[in-house]
Amino acid sequence: MPSLLVDDIGELVTNVAGRGEGGPLGIRRRAAVLVEDGEVAWVGPAADAPPADRRIDAAGAAVLPGFVDSHAHLVFAGDRAAEFAARMTGEPYTGGGIRTTVGATRAASDGELRATVRRLRAEALRQGTTTIEIKSGYGLTVADEARSLRIAAEVTGETTFLGAHVVPAEYADRPDEYVSLVCGPMLAAARPYARWIDVFCERGAFDADHARAILTCGQAVGLDVRVHANQLGHGPGVRLGVELGAASVDHCTHLTDADVDALASTRFDCMCHEGGHTTTVATLLPGAEFSTRSPYPDARRLLDAGVTVALATDCNPGSSYTSSMPFCIALAVREMGMTPAEAVWAATAGGARALRRDDIGVLRPGARADLIILDAPSHLHLAYRPGVPLVRQVLHNGVPR
């Protein structure tokens, strides 16, 4: 593969703390990045750039690691635009619409589901998302969960089994039986295509006992844990995630001090990062609060307590039909008390932490060459110019898209 130099970068966000300008973004000015074989081979001053087979002139613009969207539900059919419109006139969001999407998804062909996944994956990539996690959870039968994950695995390695999204209508009066199905044949069928297991731990979905049973079954067959937690009200999800060593607890909209303390105290040994330890990340999904007209999570409180925060889209047809990480960054800055630098870090390096990856969300030698060139001189513009398509060019695995 020919080498490629991204040259004349006005502001390079490396996310290598301690390098370049202070702060977690590790900003370098007047920089260049050399890409070889899909990886970053060199980062340094543009004046010292090595020769390369090809050159992209960033013309003084900002360059960032590609966004890491660590929470998305792309395998579904139909939409729920009418439900959204009703919410905008005052109807509450309850999660009850999930069953509508389950019905449409079961009725769809493989080709229809695949087309939707690919369309949304391409839409996200155009907006700078170079890694995306995709969950099942709208099939809720053995066959429909397995095919959802098989189709998701065609476009990402970060696949999550969410058979415990809600109890489907046909098991409404037999939730214990549904939990047995999820832990037994459904997990077995999903396992070949899944890296993660997730549960919607919430009133009206799965309680702590059911969620713990399902998540530990997944762990027993080698899946790592993430949890939908504390979205619609206070509850046990966050502390359950911490108890099980989850990579991430997602939503975190309604937190007690005990939840925040539990998250702040997490520290697990692992081989997944320099330094050999990781935490349970709080992944905040402001697209969901936007679309459900709910109060936003308090990112400032989490950051001040020392919790690692990620931002993700939660892209799904019910509670958050956006694939745009820049939109989430803008909301996080305007509504959640994050600085632009914190929000950009959370949408890149934070997402990588939430997926326990150290090869993405960062630009240093050896990292994947996933980067975006903005139509702007600084990362600040992502929040400062909301709704404007600022991602000029995306490199994914070193290949311009």
Residues that bind Fe ion (CB under 5 A): 314
- Number of C-alpha atoms within 13 angstroms, CB side, residue 188? 4
Binds ligand NIG by CB under 6 A, chosen from 183, 242, 263, 288: 288
C-beta closer to ligand NIG: residue 318 or 361: 318
| Closer residue to ligand NIG in complex, CB, 136/231 | 231
Instruction: List residues bridging with 33 in a β-sheet.
Output: 6, 43
Where residue 51 falls (left for φ over 0; alpha for ψ -120 to 50; beta otherwise) is beta
Least Å from the CB of residue 316 to Fe ion: 6
**Cα 132 to Cα 144: distance, rounded to the nearest angstrom:** 21
Q: Does 145 bind ligand NIG (CB under 6 A)?
A: no
CA distances from 159 to 72, 134, 190, 193, 343 (A): 10, 5, 10, 7, 24
Q: Is 323 in the site for ligand NIG (CB under 6 A)?
A: no
Interface with ligand NIG (CB under 6 A), residue from 116, 156, 231, 278: 231
From first CA to last CA, the distance across the chain in angstroms is 16
**Smaller CB distance to ligand NIG: residue 228 or 356?**
228
- For Fe ion, the closer of residues 77 and 205 by Cβ is 205
Tokens 């080498």, residue located: 3
User: Binder to ligand NIG among 200, 206, 296, 327 (CB under 6 A)?
Assistant: 200
As given in the structure block, the two tokens for residue 328 are 């989430």
144 binds ligand NIG (CB under 6 A): no
CA pair distance 285, 190, nearest whole angstrom: 25
Pairing of strands 4-12, 62-65: parallel
Is position 314 an interface residue for ligand NIG (rule: CB under 6 A)? yes
Site string for ligand NIG, 84-113 (x = CB under 6 A): -----------x-xx--x------------
* Shortest spacing between CB 250 and Fe ion, in angstroms: 6
Closest CB to ligand NIG among residues 316, 322? 316
Reduced to 3 states, what is the DSSP secondary structure of residue 385? coil
- Look up residue 267 and give its two tokens: 């520290």
d(CA 184, CA 164): 12
> Of ligand NIG, Fe ion, none, which one does residue 319 interact with (CB within 5 to 8 Å by kind)?
ligand NIG
Binding site for ligand NIG (CB under 6 A): 95, 97-98, 101, 200, 228, 231, 288, 314, 316-320
